[in-house]
Structure 1
Amino acid sequence: MVKNHGKKSRAKKKAQRTGASHASAAAGTFHTHTPLPDMSALGQLPYAAGRELDTELAARLVAACRTACKPCQKSLAQKLRTEHRPTLAALAGAVYGELAGIGPGAFASDTSRSWAPLARAANAGEGDRGAALAAVEAMDDAAASDLLEDALDHWAMGTPLPADLVDKLAAAPPRQRPADPMDAFRKAGIKVVTLDDLDLPDGVDPYYLAPNYGVTLMKTDTPDGRPMPMLVLYPETEDAGIEDLEARTDWEHWGLHGMPDMDPHWRVRARIAERSLQGLVHVGEDGEDGIELWRAAKTVSLPQHWWDLLDRVQHVLVAGPVKTPEAPGALQAAGGAGELLAVVARVAFV
C-alpha cells in the first residue's frame, strides 16, 4: 500500500509539473513533441504586465498543437488556463496585438473579439497596460478556454503565422535579398536609372511603368491539414517573371513542401463591401506603399467559400510566377524546377 501510494503521489506531481495526463504520467508514457519553439521572446511582450511566464509550458503546448496531439493539447491547455494566466495573455497578445496587428477572424469567439482591443492598446502603450492581463485573469474557465483556443489556431499554423514570427525574429538571420542584376552595370561604372530616381509628372502612375502580374484564386493546406487561401501570380507584362520577382522581393524559393515564411509587410488588400480583392503590395517601414505587384483592374466579388476562408485565416499564401496557373500540373512543374517563389502575406481588410 505504501509503495502504491508513493507511485500515485509521484505520478500526480509529475502530471502537475509537466502538464501530462495523470494516466500517462503514472504509466511513464509522457512524451514531448519536437521541435520545441523558443518562446523566450514572449517575455519581451507587454501583455503579462511584467509577471513571470512559463515559456516551457507554452512551448510544449504549441508543439503539441502543431503535431495535432489531442491528449497533450487538452492537458497542457488546462494547466495553462488554471495556473498560468499571464502566459495565456502573452500567447494571445502575440497574435492579436504585438506582431500580427490583426483582429480575430469571423469565426473567433466573443471572448477573443472583446479582448483583442485590450491587446492592441497594451501594444500601443495606451491606457492601463495591465488591463489586458487583468481581463484574462478575471475570465472564467470557459472564456479563458475560448481565448486560448483561438490564439492556438494561429500558433499552430505550421511555418509561421504571426505569433511564430517571434521565433524567426529571435533565432533566424535575415534572409539575403537576391542580387540586383543591375549591380553588374553599376560596378562597371554604368549609371543605372530606376523608377525611384525619376521625378515623375503628376498623374503618372508608376504601377504601369513596372512589371506587373495577374492572380488566380486557389486553396492549399498547412502542414497540419488546415485549409488556407492561396494566390498564384502569372505575368501580365513581358518583363514580369522569375527574375523580376527575385529582384523586387525577398521571397523564398518554394518547392510546394511545408510553408514559406510570413512577411507582415506584404499585404493582400480585400474590400469588405464588395467582398473583393484590391491588390498585392509591400508596405515599407514608414507605412507607405512600396512595391505593387498586382492591382485589380475591376471589382469582382469572390466566391463565398473563398471569402469565408480568407476572413477566417486572414493570411494568404502567395506564389509565382506561373505562366498558365490553370493548366494541370503547371504549379507543380514550376515548383519542381525551382522557379517558384512564395511568401505568406497578411490580409488587410478595407
Structure 2
Amino acid sequence: MVKKHGKKQRARQRAQRTGTGHASAAANAAHTHTPIPDMTALAELPYAPGRELDSDLAARLVAACRTACKSCQKSLARKLRTEQRATLAALAGAVYGGLAGRGGMTFSSSTTQAWTPLARAANANPAAGAEALAAVEAMDDVAASDLLEDALDHWAMGSPLPSDFVEKLAEAPPRKRPADPLAAFREAGVKVFTLDDLDLGDDIDTYYLAPNYGVTLMKTNTPDGQPMPMLVLYPETEDAGIEDLEARTDWEHWGLHGMPDMDPHWRVRARLADRSLRGLVHVGPDGKDDHELWRAAETVSLPANWWDLLNRAQHVLVSGPVKAPQAPDVLAAAGDAGELLAVVALVEYV
C-alpha cells in the first residue's frame, strides 16, 4: 500500500510539473515537442513586474501549439491560466503590447480588445505594467482563456507573427553580404566581364543563370488581426539559399514577430485571366526587372479563397528561404535560427 501510494504521489507531482494528464504521467508517457523555443526573454517584458515567470511552461505550450498537439495544449493552457497568470500576461503582452496598435482587431475576442490598451500603455511606460497584470489576474477563467487563445494564435505557426519573441529583444543577426567572387580578379588587374557588360539581346534568358526558388502558399495575419496572403520561398537550385537572398535583396531578418517592411519595388505578379501567380521580381529605378527570384513554370489557378484574399490585401508577405517545402515546423526553425528574411511586396496584375 505504501509503495502504491508513493507511485501515485510521484505521478501526481509529475503531472503538476509537466502539465500532462494524470494517466500519462502515471505511465511516465509524457512527451515533448521540438523545437522548444527559448522563452526566457519574457522576464524582460514589463507586463508582469516583480513576478517570477514560468518560461519553461510557456515554451512547452508554444511548442505544443506549433505542432498542433491538442491534448498538450489543453493541459498546459489550463495550468498556465490557473497557476501562472503573470506568465499569461507576458505571453499576451509580447503580442499585443507593441504589435496591436494599427487599426482594429476584428478577429480578437472582446477580452483581448479591452486588455490591449493596457498592454500598449505598459509597453510605452513600464510603470503601467502592474495595471496590465492586475487586469489579467482579475479575469475569470473564460476571459483568461480567450486572451490566452488569442495570443497563442500569434505564437503558433498557424499565424506566424511574433512566434519567437527572443529575437525582438536581441539584436538581429548581421546580414552576411558575401564577398564579390570577382573582386580578387579585378584587384589583380584581370579584365572581368559580366552578363551586364555583354549585349546578349533577348537570346539568353538570364533567369536560368541565377539561383531560382519555388514558392509555397500560406496565410498569416497582420498585427491587428487582418488576414494576409503569404509566400514562403524554398531553393530550387543548388546555389539558392540564405546567402543568395542576402546578396540579392535588402530584406530584413525576420523572427516571425511583427511585420517586415513594405518595399514597393518587390512585386508579386498575378494574372487575372486565369487567377494564377506568374512570378516574384524586383523592379529597378529604370522600371525594368533587375532581380527575378521565382517564375511560374506552369499555369496553376489559385484556390478561390487565397485569390480573394490576394485581391483584398493587394500585398503579400514574402519570406524565406526554408530548406524544404511543406515540411512541418520548417518556417519556425528558420526563424529561430536567424536564417529567415522577409519583405512585404506589392501585388502587380499582368
Where on the TM-score scale, by shorter chain, does this alignment land: which range? 0.5 to 0.7
Name the counterpart of 2:60: 60
Cα deviation per residue 1:163-222 (whole Å; 9 max; x = unaligned)?
Answer: 4142475497333245589999x999xxxxxxxxxxxxxxxxxxxxxxxxxxxx994268
Q: 1:342 to 1:31 in 2, by over 3 A?
A: closer
Query: Would you say 1:316 and 2:289 are equivalent positions?
Result: no
Name the counterpart of 1:267: 261
Name the counterpart of 2:7: 7
Query: Would you say 1:110 and 2:110 are equivalent positions?
Result: yes
Q: 1:95 to 1:168 in 2, by over 3 A?
A: closer
Q: 1:38 to 1:3 in 2, by over 3 A?
A: same
Name the counterpart of 1:88: 88
Q: Secondary structure at the match of 1:229?
A: strand
Q: 1:174 to 1:245 in 2, by over 3 A?
A: closer
Name the counterpart of 1:42: 42
Of 162-171 and 66-75, deviating more is: 162-171
Q: Normalising by structure 1, report the TM-score.
A: 0.58
* Paired AA for residue 74 in structure 2: K
Name the counterpart of 1:123: 123
Of 158-167 and 105-114, deviating more is: 158-167
Q: 1:315 to 1:92 in 2, by over 3 A?
A: farther
Alignment RMSD = 4.7
Q: Distance in 1 between matches of 2:41 and 2:145?
A: 23
Instruction: Assess if the C-alpha contact under 8 Å between 2:153 and 2:159 holds in 1.
Output: no
Alignment of 1:1-350 (within 5 A): 1-98=1-98, 105-125=105-125, 128-157=128-157, 161-167=161-167, 170=170, 173-177=173-177, 219-220=217-218, 229-230=229-230, 246-250=247-251, 261-262=255-256, 264=258, 266-268=260-262, 316-318=317-319, 343-345=341-343
Instruction: Assess if the C-alpha contact under 8 Å between 2:310 and 2:316 holds in 1.
Output: no
- Alpha-carbon distance, 1:246 to partner: 3.5
* Paired AA for residue 131 in structure 1: E
* Paired AA for residue 250 in structure 2: T
* Paired AA for residue 260 in structure 2: W
Sequence identity, in percent? 59
Q: 1:307 to 1:343 in 2, by over 3 A?
A: farther
* Paired AA for residue 267 in structure 1: D
Cα deviation per residue 1:36-79 (whole Å; 9 max; x = unaligned)?
Answer: 11111111110112311000111111111111111111111000
Q: Secondary structure at the match of 1:32?
A: coil
Q: Normalising by structure 2, report the TM-score.
A: 0.58
Q: Secondary structure at the match of 1:48?
A: coil
Matched positions, count? 257
Instruction: Assess if the C-alpha contact under 8 Å between 1:97 and 1:123 holds in 2.
Output: yes
Cα deviation per residue 1:316-348 (whole Å; 9 max; x = unaligned)?
Answer: 23579xxxxxxxxxxxxxxxxxxxx9744579x
Q: Secondary structure at the match of 1:164?
A: coil
Cα deviation per residue 1:248-268 (whole Å; 9 max; x = unaligned)?
Answer: 50468xxxxxxx754757334
Instruction: Assess if the C-alpha contact under 8 Å between 2:161 and 2:257 holds in 1.
Output: no
Task: Structure 2: state its 5+ residue gaps.
Answer: 189-214, 221-226, 234-242, 268-281, 284-303, 322-338, 346-350
Instruction: Assess if the C-alpha contact under 8 Å between 1:54 and 1:87 holds in 2.
Output: yes
Task: Structure 1: state its 5+ residue gaps.
Answer: 189-216, 234-241, 253-259, 270-277, 282-292, 295-302, 321-340
Instruction: Assess if the C-alpha contact under 8 Å between 1:95 and 1:102 holds in 2.
Output: no
Q: Distance in 2 between matches of 1:118 and 1:6?
A: 46
Q: 1:153 to 1:102 in 2, by over 3 A?
A: farther
* Paired AA for residue 266 in structure 1: P
Of 57-66 and 243-252, deviating more is: 243-252
Instruction: Assess if the C-alpha contact under 8 Å between 2:251 and 2:343 holds in 1.
Output: no
- Alpha-carbon distance, 1:247 to partner: 4.7
Q: 1:127 to 1:17 in 2, by over 3 A?
A: closer
